[in-house]
A and B are shown apart, each in its own frame.
Chain A
């Protein structure tokens, strides 16, 4: 049997370790990545001419980042690497890619989708004002461009990234006004048993919070975001919340970094026609994944945060596991003991992940509390009120129907930042469980595709 043609989409932690494992087994995979450089998001590499050392950029994870980058550098001659290349469609067992407005269709025997994740957002009134960014964006501004998103920054949301980015900003000399966590502190305590699955990570987390407090940054937990104040002309001016005692508090700022943990990028899995299932714990639709990243479609595998958000370490393991699944499925040898070890590691990561979900939950209830004039869909500027009207006045009880009638999810981002909250708004207005609202149907292109794109002439 000949060597399977393997395509890996994504050169972040999972994609890199997947490629490395396949190369070690004698294969030559193709690695397609949209970025200019490898590393994905969490280990995003700064431009060539930047000078900050790894320790400054990646803190406690500097060693892992360096190892990942060096591993990929070593792979360069042994893979077909397509950087700055967008995988915009999957059809007929081919990945359709575009680079520099030239498109090609790449056939595969096995496809490993390592598409990573984005921040998960819950809208708040005023979140469309210029100066509102995701937590991930705030981190990228610092890590990849040595910038702060504003002069005075409020970080709001929940999850470990909230504290990590705030702490990185403080260390880098930015002015952090406050860190506002929607999760009540006691949830962390309750989640401790699961969080103890990764004691080093947990310790780092405690240290971050302690650092912030030492630096005099206000850290509040159990808050309810009420509004981002601002103006259409000048953008963000401040944040108003209700604190855990029920008091309204206002913070002046010119930038907000906001996010509620992460959501997997599942568009490619959707285009590959993978089955999805509703995950009740996190209240979102995820691709159905069997052992080692196998999906419902033979020959299509998932790994990393694009499969399930296990974090960077979990992504590296997932990439290796998916590679081994490919090897096994194509009747090539794998080291069974290594496979077992990785699975056990991943199970430990998953336990920790569930602890994070418990400690820093998606604040679904905020959707119902959104005022009617709060935007749900930033791309199309659709308010919660308009979305509710499609339910109450037009009978829409399902995500795609609501979208057809009021355009939520119809914009450039195709639902990345509004679909989760949109579903919660619909569910509440319709009085049905959010699972029943369904999920937005996926279509190509995964990201905007230029009309100047032309098929590459062979």
Chain B
């Protein structure tokens, strides 16, 4: 059978894969993007939609900064803005240890230009009059924001296609192997795709592929617990989150321009990777209800109209896998974003395009090399 060919095959059409396809095309590299379902349907489409730097591990901030620059010019780059709003991000705390943690982070992140402002007491209440009495301190990131995850990856995918990426949706991959100089990728319907370079951006399913190349990673798939309110007048500009060490207090929410408030946090659930199913446990929805009024009491008056979950991937050390394979030349990975990959998407795509095209990237990503797990693989063997 004749194979479709390109310089790079990307397996997995979420925001990482779609962004990589777009930026590779910008560099004149030919691309085949393969997606089992529709572009952006998995984690990229169901996540919270945070486009924030505040709160990330310090080692991730250079990548997050790079990505942010792209978010700011998304409209210019792809013709759509995916409802990106630079609305600010406010983390709040209830107890002294929360304020301490936020203050320490503000200090540690100083070199990266987040512009964090620690606010408490009367100043906090004046600036954000909707906050409840339990909130004692806040860390405000004026240059962070949010976007619509249902729109972003599909829009980037369409832009990649307009630039000449060959995008194949509804194309399940059953096999990838190195065949001489090329990667030979086989679809369920028998189509073959070949390229000298393969980039695996298959999210929670990437581990299966990396394992087949002798590079298993300790990846766990989990379902975020999301819900959304009816639309109400726009009143809460910043994305809100609670800086607590206790997961059950970790509520986060954002109000979109149309007025709905998207809510997540406090818990995660197991998922079914094979059936690609993830559910919201009703207990978690009720738990979120106990946490929301602690931040903004007036939320008690609203109703949620829908819940949803999805499949996100978590790695044991809370960092993603980004970079070249440790075993196979021409093979690259970008997956396992621990429930905070959305903001990084455009940046990761740009970095991978740079890395694949030039052999190096100006953004530090060595800490995300898949080799860090090979010790584990050896130990397990």
- A adjacent to B, CB under 8 Å: yes
Q: Which residues of A contact B (CB under 8 A)?
A: 89, 91, 96, 103, 105, 394-395, 398, 401, 404-405, 410-412, 414, 443-445, 448-455
Chain A's closest residue to B46 (CB) is A404
Measured between beta carbons, the chain B residues less than 8 angstroms from A450 are: 300, 302-303
Measured between beta carbons, the chain B residues less than 8 angstroms from A405 are: 150-151, 154
CB atoms of A91 and B279 under 8 A apart = yes
Measured between beta carbons, the chain A residues less than 8 angstroms from B301 are: 451-452
Measured between beta carbons, the chain B residues less than 8 angstroms from A394 are: 154, 158
Chain B's closest residue to A91 (CB) is B282
CB atoms of B307 and A412 under 8 A apart = no
Measured between beta carbons, the chain B residues less than 8 angstroms from A395 are: 158
Q: Which of A89, A96, A412 makes the CB contact (< 8 A) with B230? A: A412
CB atoms of A451 and B307 under 8 A apart = no
Name 21 A/B residue pairs within 8 A (Cβ), A-sorted: A91-B282, A96-B282, A394-B158, A405-B154, A411-B305, A412-B305, A443-B308, A444-B280, A445-B305, A448-B230, A448-B305, A449-B285, A449-B303, A451-B289, A451-B293, A451-B300, A452-B300, A452-B301, A453-B289, A454-B289, A455-B286
Query: Least Cβ distance of B40 to chain A in Å?
Result: 8
Measured between beta carbons, the chain B residues less than 8 angstroms from A452 are: 289, 293, 300-301
How many chain B residues touch A (CB < 8 A): the figure is 30
CB atoms of B158 and A454 under 8 A apart = no
Q: Told that A404-B45, A444-B307, A445-B304 touch, could you supply 16 new A-B pairs with CB distance under 8 A? A: A105-B282, A394-B154, A404-B150, A411-B305, A443-B280, A443-B306, A445-B307, A448-B230, A448-B304, A448-B305, A450-B300, A451-B229, A451-B301, A452-B300, A453-B286, A454-B290
Measured between beta carbons, the chain A residues less than 8 angstroms from B303 are: 448-451
Q: How many A-B residue pairs have CB under 8 A?
A: 70
Is B38 an interface residue, CB under 8 A from the partner? yes
Q: Which residues of B contact A (CB under 8 A)?
A: 38, 41, 45, 150-151, 154, 158, 229-231, 279-282, 285-286, 289-290, 292-293, 299-308
Measured between beta carbons, the chain A residues less than 8 angstroms from B308 are: 443
Measured between beta carbons, the chain A residues less than 8 angstroms from B304 are: 445, 448-449, 451
Measured between beta carbons, the chain A residues less than 8 angstroms from B231 are: 411
Chain B's closest residue to A410 (CB) is B306
Chain A's closest residue to B39 (CB) is A395
Measured between beta carbons, the chain B residues less than 8 angstroms from A103 are: 286
Measured between beta carbons, the chain A residues less than 8 angstroms from B281 are: 91
Chain A's closest residue to B155 (CB) is A394
Complexed CA–CA distance, A449 and B158 (Å): 36
Query: Least Cβ distance of A424 to chain B in Å?
Result: 21
Chain A's closest residue to B308 (CB) is A443
CB atoms of A414 and B289 under 8 A apart = no
Residue of A105, A444, A455 contacting most chain B CB atoms (<10 Å): A444
Measured between beta carbons, the chain B residues less than 8 angstroms from A401 are: 38, 41
Measured between beta carbons, the chain A residues less than 8 angstroms from B292 are: 451
Complexed CA–CA distance, A171 and B278 (Å): 53
Measured between beta carbons, the chain B residues less than 8 angstroms from A414 are: 305-306
Measured between beta carbons, the chain A residues less than 8 angstroms from B151 are: 404-405
Measured between beta carbons, the chain B residues less than 8 angstroms from A89 are: 282
Measured between beta carbons, the chain A residues less than 8 angstroms from B38 are: 398, 401
Chain B's closest residue to A452 (CB) is B300
Residue of A105, A449, A450, A452 contacting most chain B CB atoms (<10 Å): A449
Measured between beta carbons, the chain B residues less than 8 angstroms from A412 are: 230, 305
8 residue pairs, one from A and one from B, having the closest CB atoms: A448-B303, A404-B150, A452-B300, A89-B282, A96-B282, A451-B289, A450-B303, A448-B305
Measured between beta carbons, the chain B residues less than 8 angstroms from A455 are: 286
CB atoms of B285 and A444 under 8 A apart = yes
Query: Least Cβ distance of A381 to chain B in Å?
Result: 10
Query: Least Cβ distance of B212 to chain A in Å?
Result: 30
Measured between beta carbons, the chain B residues less than 8 angstroms from A445 are: 304-307
Complexed CA–CA distance, A247 and B61 (Å): 67
Complexed CA–CA distance, A449 and B286 (Å): 10
Query: Least Cβ distance of A209 to chain B in Å?
Result: 40
Residue of B285, B290, B301 contacting most chain A CB atoms (<10 Å): B285
Complexed CA–CA distance, A95 and B68 (Å): 44
Chain A's closest residue to B40 (CB) is A404
Complexed CA–CA distance, A449 and B150 (Å): 23
Measured between beta carbons, the chain A residues less than 8 angstroms from B279 are: 91
Query: Least Cβ distance of A287 to chain B in Å?
Result: 19
Chain B's closest residue to A390 (CB) is B154
Query: Least Cβ distance of B107 to chain A in Å?
Result: 35
Complexed CA–CA distance, A195 and B281 (Å): 46
Complexed CA–CA distance, A412 and B229 (Å): 9
